Structure 1
Amino acid sequence: MTAAHEVRGQFRAVQGTLDDLGTPLAEVTFVVVDLETTGGSAADSAITEIGAVKVRGGVELGELGTLVDPGGPIPPFITALTGITTAMVTAAPRMDAVLPAFLEFARGCVLVAHNAPFDIGFLKAACAAQGYAWPAFPVVDTVDLARRVLGKDEVPNCKLGTLARFFRTRTEPTHRALADARATVEVLHGLIERLGSFGVTSLEELRGFAKAPTPEQRRKRHLADDVPSTPGVYLFEDAAGEILYVGKSGDLRSRVRSYFTGSETRWRVREMVGLAERVRTIVCATGLEAEVRELRLIAEHKPRYNRRSKFPERAIWLKLTAEPFPRLSIVRECRDDGARYLGPISSRRQAEEARAALHEAVPLRQCTQRLTVRLIERGRARTCALADLGRCGAPCDGRESPDAYAVHAETARAIMEGDVRPVVAAAQVRIDRLASELRYEEAGAQRDRLAAFVRAAARGQRLTALARLPELVAARPGFDGGWELSVVRYGRLAAAGTVPPRAHPRPYVDALIATAETVFPPAGGAPGGVALGAPPSSGATAEEMECVLRWLDLPGVRLVELDGAWTCPAHGAEGLRTWIDNAYASHDPEARQGRR
C-alpha cells in the first residue's frame, strides 16, 4: 500500500506502514459483558449479576460470572424476569469486591455489550460510587452493528433473543448474565463474518461502521436544504404525500440535518429516511407550541414510524361504576355517566395495582356481575369466596345491606375525588406488618401497589385542576431578553406567541388572548378525570396538558392572568408524589425497560 506526498509541486510515492491498516480484528481481545440489575436506571437501581467472556480470534480466553448483592431486596418483577431472588444474592459479594475483579479482567480489552449504553452506564455508575476512574475502554455495541448489517427482511428486531435464533447460537439467552454474555459472543462472531462483505477488517473500521451514514442517508441530504433554523415541527413525507414521521425541535434545520448523518443509528428511522421524498416544516412561536403541535399531528395522522403518542384515545382509567352496588372497573374511556374516574393511567398493569391498593382500603365487591336489589331479593345473585376471607361484605347474598355498602362506595368516591389518606394508611399498616415478619417481597408488592395508586391519583388531580380552568395566561423569559407567552383554556394550548426585547408586554398579551382558539370545557366538567373521550374541541389530551404543566413548572414562568381557581385537593396525592418517587423508585418494576 502506498501514500502520495506533495513535494514542491510534485508527488512522490511513499510506502505506507502496517499501522495505517489499523488493528486486525483477529488480534483484538474482546470482553463481552452482560449485567442483570434491579431496575432500568443506574441512578436508582443496582447490579445483581455480572457475566463476562474474554475472546480473541474466535477463541475463548476466560470467563467471569458472579451474583452481586445489590444492598436491598430485588423487586418481584425482576425476579420473574431473571429468576434471581433476594435470597440468592444475600450471600453474594458486594460491588466493592466484584468491581476490581471485573476491571482487572477487562484491562486493555475492547468491551462489547448488547445495547451497550445500558450496561456501560451501570458500570460507570458503579465506578463512580466506588471511587474508581472509568478506564477508557473502546466499546462496541452489537445492537448498532446488527442494525447496519441485517435487514428487516432477515430479522424483525435486534433483540438478543432474535439475533441468537438468527445466528443459531449454541447458548440461548435466559436473562442471566453469563448465559447472555456467551450468546452475545456468538452473535458478535456472526456479525463480524457479515462485516467481511463490507470490507471491515480492523477494529477502527468496526467501530466506525455502525456510525457511518447509509447511502440512502447521503443521497437524501438535500431534503434539509430549505429547512429554517427556528422552533417548529417537521414532517417526513413519501412520494404519495403520506406522513411517515413527525418530530419537533427548537432548531428545525439542525435536527432535520441530523437524520442524514451517522449520528442517526435507529434502523427504523434509517428505513424511513429511505422512503422519504420531502420534509415539510411548520414554524412555531415557542418550543411549547412545537411540542403540542407534534402531539396533535401524531394523534391525527398516526405516522407508521412514530411509536409514542399515536393513540391518546387508548388511555386507561380506573372507574367506580354508577350502579346500586358500585365496583371498580378498568376502562379505556372516560364518559359523563355519573361514575368517578381515576387516571389516566400509563398501563393496564399499573391500573390493576392501583385498583388493588384501593381494594385494600375499601371492601368493595370485586365480582363483575351487575348487582341490583331485586336480583338479591330473588336469590339469583352469584356469590364468591371473598366474603369468607373478609375482603367483601357480601351484599350479593344479603349479608351487607344496601345502606351499609353505600358507605363503602362513598368512601371510595371521596378517595378518588381527592382524599387519598385511607389508601395510604391501609397500605402502610400492611407494609409495616409484612416487614416485621421479614416478608420483604410481599411488602415490596404492597409498596408497588401504593406507588401505582399515588402516581395515578396525583396525575389525575394535576390534570383535572388544569382542565377546569377556563383560561390561564403565562409568560416565560426568552433567551433574547423578550418573553414567551402561552394562553391555555381548559388545559388546551389555545395560543402561543412572543414579546420582543424591551417591548411592553400588555399589547402582545391582549392581542394573543383576542386571537386565541375558542375551547369548550371537557364533557361533564371532567368528573374526577380529564375526558379524553370527548371531541377534540373539548379540552386537551393528557399528554398535551402534561406538556403545558412541565412548561409552567420551568424556572422564571409567571402567571399573567387566571380565570378560576387552580388548586389540588388538600389531602390529595400530589403532596405524596415526591415522597413516593423517592421512597419507592428502586422498587418500581416500571423502571426496568425491556432491553432485549
Structure 2
Amino acid sequence: MHGAHDQLTFDELGTPLRDTTFVVFDLETTGTKPGPDGITEIGAVKVRGGEVLGEFATLVNPGKPIPPQIVALTGITDAVVYDAPTIDRVLGSFLEFAAGAVLVAHNAPFDTGFMRAACAAYGYPWPKPAVVCTVKLARRVLTRQDTPSFRLSALAALFGSSTTPNHRALDDARATVDVLHALLERVGSVGVHSLEELVDYLPEVTDEQRRKRGMAAHLPELPGVYLFRGPGEEVLYVGTASNLRRRVRNYFTGSESRGRIREMVALAQRVDGIECSHALEAQIRELRLLAAYRPAYNRRSKNPRKSWWVVLTDEAFPRLSVVRLPKDGALGPFNSQAMAKLAADVLAGASGLRTCTQRISAVAPAGRPCAMAELGRCGAPCAGHQSVEAYFPSVRAVAQLIGGEDNVPLDSALRQLDELAAAQHYEQAARRRDELAILVRAVAKAHRLTALAAIPELVAAAPDGNRGWEFAVIRYGRLASAGVARRGVPPMPVVDALVAAAETVTPEPGPLYGAPPEEVGLLLRWLTRAGVRLVRTAIPWAEPAHGAGGWHDWLERASTATALEQAVG
C-alpha cells in the first residue's frame, strides 16, 4: 500500500495532461432540478494538447414551456426550440462525440446531473467518464485575492478568454476551455502533469482514499468489469471500465465525490478485475454480476426480473392482467407496474376485452352489467349478454397484435381517437392519443426484443475504430461469446473459434425465451449502432410485418403534437 502522500511511480502517472482529450461542455436548461426533459441547448468543445479537435452544438426541445426567467437569461424561447430535436434524438450523438474523453464543465455536478438523468430515462448507459469541475479546480488554485468570484464570467475575464460567456451553451463551453487551459497552467507549476494527478489534486480526498489507491496496481489497462470486495469477501460494488486500472484508481482520488461510494471504498479490502474483449462484453458481464451478487452499493439492476408484463388470463372470458413472470404471448417488458396497467387498459378498451376481475362461468353466468357495459365498452358476458364465441374475436385480436399478425386493436383505438376529435373533445382526444402512443411503443419494443431473442444463433461484428473488429455471438437473446480481431488479423478464423467456444443456451418458455430483458435490450442497441454488420445468422432476423413497426410516422406526429401542446401550456 502507498502512504498518504507517496509520490506516484512513472507507471502510475497515467495519461499526461498534454495527451488527454477533454470534452468541455455546457447545458442550458429550464431550471435547476436535473431531469430528462429539462435541457434546451448543448454546446461542447473537444480539445487535446491545447488544440480544438471539434465542436458539438444543438438546441433541444424540452417538451415543456421554458420559464420566463430562463428566457430572460438565455434568450431561448419556446419558439426558438419549436423545430429543435428532443433530447432522446441528440443524446446518442453527444455521447458518441464525448466517448473516451474526460468531461469538463463549470459546476460539473449540475451539467452531468442532467446528462445522467437523460441517459437513465432513454436507456443509455452512463459511460462513467472522469469529470473535472472548473469551479472546484479554480477554488483549489485561486484565492479571493486573485478573483472575488468563481463565476464563469469572472474567471473568463481574469484569464482574458477570447469568448465572453453569455448563457448560450457553445459560447460558455468555449469560454470554459480558456479557463481550463489557464488553470492547468497553474497546476503544472506545482507538479500536476497527468490526469490522475489532476483529480487527486482536487479537494476532499481522504487519507483513507489515498492509502488504498495501490489496490488498483494489479489491474490491467484493458476493458472489463471490476468488483470491490469487503472484509468478508462480499461484493460491495460492480462496475465496468474501458481501462480497469485507470477507472479503479479514480475511486481513490478527488474525482469521486459520491458519499455512499466513499463509504464503500472505506469498507473495501480488495478489487477484482475481469478482463473483457470489448465494452459490450463488459456491460453484459456487469448485468449478470449485479443479478448474481446484488451488491449493496449498486442502485441499478439488482433484480434483472423486475419487469412487468401484460398477459391474457386463462379462463372462459379472458382479460388482461399485469404480472411479474411472463409466459408465451405476454406483452412487455414494462419498467413499472403503472405503465403496464395503462397499456393494458388502452388495449382492453381498443379490443373490447372486459376489465373487471371477476371469474365468469361459460355456462349460465349470473352477474349484473356494470357501468362499462352501460357505456358500450363491454359486452357484459357476466350477465350472459355475450357468449364465449362472440367474445373470442376480441381475445384473438389482442393475441394477434402481440404476435405481430394484425393491427386490429390499434386501428380501432385510432378510430376512437378520431371520433373524439371530430366531436371536438380535444382534451380527451389528446389524452387518448398519448395513451395510444404508450401502447404502440410497448408493442414495437416487444416485437424488436422478441425478434432478436428468437434467433438460435447470430454473429455480428462492430468496427473497433482501428481497422479491426469486435465480435459478439448471440444465442436466444444472450451473449454466448465475445472476441476481437485486431487490425491485420484474419477475422473469419476468429469467428469460427468464438462460435466453437460459445456458451450453450437452451431456450426457455416466455416471449424472450428466458433471456433477461435488460440483456436483450443492450444487445439490440449494440446491433443497431452505425457500422455493426451481421456475419451470419441461423434464421433471418426480421420483425413482424404487422404490428407497431408501421406506426413509426404516426408516433413521430403524436410526439411532435404532445411537445407542442406542452410548450404552449
Of the candidates 525, 528, 540, which is equivalent to residue 565 of structure 1?
Answer: 540
Q: Distance in 2 between matches of 1:332 and 1:239?
A: 35
Q: CA deviation at 1:37?
A: 9.1
Q: CA deviation at 1:447?
A: 2.7
Q: Which residue of 2 aligns with 1:512?
A: 498
Q: Which residue of 2 aligns with 1:26?
A: none
Q: CA deviation at 1:307?
A: 1.3
Whether the 8 Å CA contact 2:36–2:115 is kept in 1: the answer is: no
Q: CA deviation at 1:416?
A: 1.4
Q: Which residue of 2 aligns with 1:465?
A: 451
Q: Distance in 1 between matches of 2:560 and 2:226?
A: 35
Of the candidates 275, 283, 286, which is equivalent to residue 283 of structure 1?
Answer: 275
Cα deviations across residues 546-576 of structure 1 (Å, max 9, x unaligned)? 1111121122222111101311111222343
Q: Distance in 2 between matches of 1:509 and 1:138?
A: 46
Q: CA deviation at 1:382?
A: 5.6
Q: Which residue of 2 aligns with 1:229?
A: 221
Worse-superposed segment, 232-241 or 410-419: 410-419
2:57 aligned with 1:44, yes or no? no
> Structure 2 matches for 1:466-481, cutoff 5 A?
466-481=452-467
2:524 aligned with 1:549, yes or no? yes
Q: Distance in 2 between matches of 1:120 and 1:349?
A: 25
* 1:288 partner SS: helix
Cα deviations across residues 378-434 of structure 1 (Å, max 9, x unaligned)? x44464221111110011111112111011111111111115633433343444454
Q: Distance in 1 between matches of 2:61 and 2:448?
A: 25
**Normalised by the size of structure 2, how large is the TM-score?**
0.64
Q: CA deviation at 1:268?
A: 2.1
Shift in CA distance, 281/116, structure 1 to aligned 2, threshold 3 Å: closer
* 2:237 partner SS: strand
**Percent identity between the two aligned chains:** 44
Q: CA deviation at 1:342?
A: 0.3
**Normalised by the size of structure 1, how large is the TM-score?**
0.62
Shift in CA distance, 261/419, structure 1 to aligned 2, threshold 3 Å: farther
Of the candidates 484, 493, 515, which is equivalent to residue 479 of structure 2?
Answer: 493
Unaligned ranges ≥5, structure 1: 1-32, 53-63, 73-110, 123-136, 141-207, 533-539, 592-596
* 2:231 partner SS: coil
> Cα RMSD between the aligned structures?
3.6
Whether the 8 Å CA contact 2:308–2:325 is kept in 1: the answer is: yes
Whether the 8 Å CA contact 2:342–2:435 is kept in 1: the answer is: yes
Q: CA deviation at 1:347?
A: 1.1
Q: Distance in 2 between matches of 1:578 and 1:235?
A: 44
Q: CA deviation at 1:587?
A: 4.3
Cα deviations across residues 238-287 of structure 1 (Å, max 9, x unaligned)? 11111111111221122212222222222222222222121110001121
Cα deviations across residues 20-75 of structure 1 (Å, max 9, x unaligned)? xxxxxxxxxxxxx75799934443323454679xxxxxxxxxxx99xx99579xxx
Worse-superposed segment, 483-492 or 256-265: 256-265
2:414 aligned with 1:428, yes or no? yes
Of the candidates 384, 393, 401, which is equivalent to residue 398 of structure 1?
Answer: 384
> 1:560 is aligned with what amino acid?
V
Q: Which residue of 2 aligns with 1:252?
A: 244
2:344 aligned with 1:355, yes or no? yes
Q: CA deviation at 1:509?
A: 1.5
2:334 aligned with 1:345, yes or no? yes
Cα deviations across residues 476-509 of structure 1 (Å, max 9, x unaligned)? 2223332211111111111111123222222221
Q: CA deviation at 1:301?
A: 0.6
Q: Distance in 2 between matches of 1:580 and 1:266?
A: 39
Shift in CA distance, 47/118, structure 1 to aligned 2, threshold 3 Å: farther
Unaligned ranges ≥5, structure 2: 1-30, 41-59, 81-105, 118-132, 137-199
Q: In terms of Rg, which structure is larger?
A: 1
Q: CA deviation at 1:473?
A: 1.1
Q: CA deviation at 1:312?
A: 1.5
Shift in CA distance, 507/120, structure 1 to aligned 2, threshold 3 Å: closer
Whether the 8 Å CA contact 1:36–1:50 is kept in 2: the answer is: no
* 1:334 partner SS: coil
> 1:44 is aligned with what amino acid?
N
> Structure 2 matches for 1:136-535, cutoff 5 A?
212-335=204-327, 340-374=329-363, 377=364, 379-381=365-367, 383-419=369-405, 421-435=407-421, 439-523=425-509, 526=510, 529-532=511-514
* 1:400 partner SS: coil
Q: Distance in 2 between matches of 1:437 and 1:69?
A: 33
Shift in CA distance, 112/492, structure 1 to aligned 2, threshold 3 Å: closer
